[in-house]
Structure 1
Amino acid sequence: MAPCRLPVLPVALLWVLVSSSSSSPSTVAPPRDLRISDPGLLGSLDVEWKPPAHIQTFNECTVKYKFEYRSAGDRDWKVIFTRKLKLRVGFDLSRSAEVRLQTLLQGRCTDDVEVQSDWVHATFQSPPQGKLESEVQNFQCIYHDWEYLKCTWQPGLLTPRGVHYGLYYWYQGLEQALQCGHYIQEQGINVGCVLQNLTQAEYQDLNICVNGSAAATLLRPLYTTLRLHNLAQPSAPEQLVLSVSAAQELRVAWSPPGGRVPPHCLEYEVQVAEDAGEAAAAWAIVSTQTETALTISRANQSHVSCVRVRGRTNIFCADQGFWSEWTQDCFSVSRKEDKQLFILIPVVLSLSISLIIFMLIGQCKKRSPAGKPLHAPMGY
């Protein structure tokens, strides 16, 4: 019996198979010359790099970059996939900026398998200035009615006399950082700022820096990044109306506040309480809702004497927000009943007296002879 023989492949075909399999790269070089620069935009830094050497040889593959960044101390990295060679991203300049980058190669040249390079790293640190205790304290901002931003602060612990504070801001769309045009002052020192016309800054990063200057003293600047929709505080709801239905159900209705606050972005909290005349009334939440009306059943409202409503930006438009002031209306069922009782008592008394007089007159007429007065005239 003849032995089994494997088919002999042509030498040319064998060379093609070997060469094609060996041409698929298993590694790719990382990007080159990764660097970070500060364009003076209060925390938005420019990061740029060059492609790996000889990357043009992989013309049948797509070259992308995985870019990760964070401020020192943050646990998580923010990730961007891009084909660009330059990005502008935001950092907290009070801490060092950290970035890392790698090349991603995928396509026909890799048999559609993604090949990743090693990471390259870079950091950036603003030159330190002043002691930490010289930085302003208690910095906070509220976006009132989606119309204006009010930020306030207090001087740092190491604040010399004659200090001058300035607030600067920048967001995507501005060519350069701008300074506050309307400061709030106490004893001649800037302790706050009101910014208007920030519609273009909504739903994006707003970079802010508050720095100070004093004679022969360096002060630590404060850097922060805000999102206006997370700082919004609407005005109180309007036109709170209470009414009682025929089924003795208490109906509460109100209108959204005015201003630029989108009505669909609001949620409301409704609370009720007893003892309207007492400052320490025990308020209880009965509803948190997006509708502008609520019906409280008779069983649940029998002892209610006060209703109040407030609003804030809901989770569909913001991660958080500030509650408005309360819209409040108080009443007392018992007082209404007493008032009705006080009205009825004089009426009942009047009717009773009239009835008594009428009965007495009737009895007197029955006792007197017909056609003769009760008392005869004098002289008869």
Structure 2
Amino acid sequence: MMLMWGSMVSSSFYHTSVAPPQDLQITDPGLLGSLDIEWKPPPNVQTFNECTVKYKFEYRNTGDRDWKVIFTKKLKFRVGFDLSRTAEVKIQTLLEGQCTNDMEVRSDWIFATFQVPLQGKLESEVQNFHCIYHDWKYLKCTWKPGHLTPRGVHYGLYYWYEGLDRAAQCDDYIQDHGVNVGCMLQNMSQAEYKDLIICVNGSATATLLRPLYVTLRLHNLAKPSPPEQLMVSMSASEELHMAWSPPGSETPPQCLEYEVQLAEDQGETKAAWVSVSTQMETTLTISRANQSRISCVRVRGRTNIFCADQGFWSEWTQECFSVPRKEDKQLFILIPVILSLSSSLIIFTLIGQCKKRTLTAPAHQMTTVSLLTCKGRALTTLHASDGSLCRAVQKEGPSG
């Protein structure tokens, strides 16, 4: 009976509280903002052998509204911060299992902060920092010197992403009058879909300059080349058909969307561009009542929502096309006219380049046959030997 009573007492004792972690520390391994966060378990963790011990870890930079949250069983984590602002960290113990009657028990929070001593005035920091990931192949970053930058300043760009053992420096700078104002970073595919941390700092004689820290995501900075092989055609049913190919670059074809624009001929007024579609396909067919007014078609591309949160549009394709007018496709028969001279000539001028062939018929029949071929349409002009009658017929289809 005593054993049974002792067992009942033991099984009815549950932990209703737990201590927070100990010795929370933040250290900088020199990775431009990727800091190491480390702590120790609560002092009585050995008594929780029937429970699972986890930690809720939250972090942010001063000024951020929301905390980023991580649940882990580890005692060390590496996360990225903007070193131009104070790093804030907090952590608590989570206990759950038989020792808590399967209820989650949480400890109090413990806090820590980290701040890199910022040198120089804010106005000495580089201005207008801007980066574009061209064709998912190379990253081009540019900047302008700070407002309080003295002569003889030297700027350096350093970068790091997960997978590099240490921060690396740019080895291909863009210069303006001997001052570094940009950097080209090649072979950056290993940094895609990771935090790319960049620091641009400067040095000048007897002047301290404020460094700039930036965290980028390459896929959100991508700018592809324009689409290629744009082809435009008009069907017999007055449908305008467009087809193009993705740019021949490192940009994944499945990551592209396209915008198509048409320009309509407004006579003497400058043509106005109208967007007709934004899509992921590389073909588009449009049926309209007045296709004859379309004077140009162009297409551009950018990274779609399945591969990035945002991105830059490419440049537009440069090709323009003259869409045939409806009346150019009709059959014309000229009524008989009296020609005063046998050498009179009736000329039909077609849009495009035309080739002319002249055939000679027997003297008692038509004297001359002139055949003009213009982009798949044939125009035949017949000259009567007696100059009394002329009839011209425009036909569809290949010449001959």
Aligned position for 1:16: 7
Write the letter of the residue equivalent to 2:229: Q
Alignment match, 1:46: 36
Which residue pairs with 2:103 in the alignment?
A: 113
Q: Deviations over 1:143-169 (max 9, x none)?
A: 000110000000000000000000000
How many Å separate the matches in 2 of 1:60 and 1:240? 68
| Secondary structure of 1:151 counterpart | strand
Q: Is the 8 A contact 1:101 1:121 kept in 2?
A: yes
Residues in 1 aligned to 2:36 and 2:298: alpha-carbon distance in whole angstroms: 50
Q: Is 1:87 the counterpart of 2:80 in the alignment?
A: no
The question of 1:321 aligning with 2:311 is answered: yes
Q: Does 1:343 align with 2:368?
A: no
Residue of structure 2 equivalent to 1:281? 271
Q: Deviations over 1:288-341 (max 9, x none)?
A: 111100001132634221111000000000000000000143334467957999
The aligned runs of 1:218-297 (5 Å cut-off) are 218-275=208-265, 280-297=270-287
The SS at the match of 2:276 is strand
| AA aligned opposite 1:66 | K
Q: Which runs of 5+ in 2 are unaligned?
A: 333-346, 351-369, 372-378, 391-400
User: Is the Cα–Cα contact under 8 Å of residues 260 and 276 in structure 2 kept in the other structure?
Assistant: yes
Local SS of the residue matching 1:59? coil
CA contact (8 A) 1:276 1:305 kept: no
Q: Give the aligned residue type for 2:193.
A: Y
Match of 1:165 in 2: 155
For residue 285 of structure 1, report the CA deviation from its aligned partner.
Answer: 1.1
**One-letter code of the match for 2:12?**
S
For residue 34 of structure 1, the aligned residue among 24, 43, 58 is 24
Deviation at 1:350, TM superposition (A): 6.2
Structure 1 residue 202 and structure 2 residue 192: aligned?
yes
Distance in 2 between residues matched to 1:109 and 1:27, nearest whole Å: 11
CA distance in 1, matches of 2:58, 2:269: 54
Question: Could you say which structure has the greater relative contact order, defined with CA pairs below 8 angstroms and 6 or more residues apart?
Answer: 1
2:194 partner SS: coil
Partner AA of 2:348 in structure 1: I
Aligned with 2:143: secondary structure? strand
Aligned pair in 2 of structure 1 residues 52, 275: CA closer, same or farther (>3 Å)? same
Amino acid at match of 1:357: S
RMSD: 2.6
**CA deviation vs aligned residue, 1:122-177 (integer Å, no higher than 9, x gap):** 11011021000000000000000011000000000000000000000011111110
1:273 Cα shift? 1.4
Tell me the secondary structure at the aligned position of residue 95 of structure 1. coil
Aligned to 2:388: 357
The structure richer in strand per residue is: 2
- Flag the 1:256–1:51 CA change in 2: closer, same or farther, 3 A: same
Whichever residue aligns with residue 16 of structure 1, its letter is S
Q: How many residues align?
A: 349
Is 1:330 the counterpart of 2:361? The answer is: no
Q: Which deviates further from its counterpart, 106-115 or 233-242?
A: 106-115
Matched, 1:305 2:302: no
C-alpha deviation, 1:110, in angstroms = 1.1
- 1:70-98 deviation per Cα after TM superposition (whole angstroms, max 9, x unaligned): 11111111111111100000000010001
1:69 aligns with: 59
What SS does the aligned partner of 1:40 have?
coil
What's the TM-score once normalised by structure 1's chain length?
0.86
Q: CA deviation at 1:263?
A: 0.3
CA distance in 1, matches of 2:112, 2:237: 71
SS for the counterpart of 1:172 is: coil
Q: Give percent identity, aligned residues only.
A: 72
Of Structure 1 and Structure 2, which has the larger fraction of its residues in helix? 1
Say if 2:238 and 2:291, in contact at 8 Å, map to a contact too. no
Aligned CA distance change for structure 1 residues 334 and 200 (closer, same or farther; 3 Å) = closer
SS of alignment partner, residue 317 of structure 1: coil
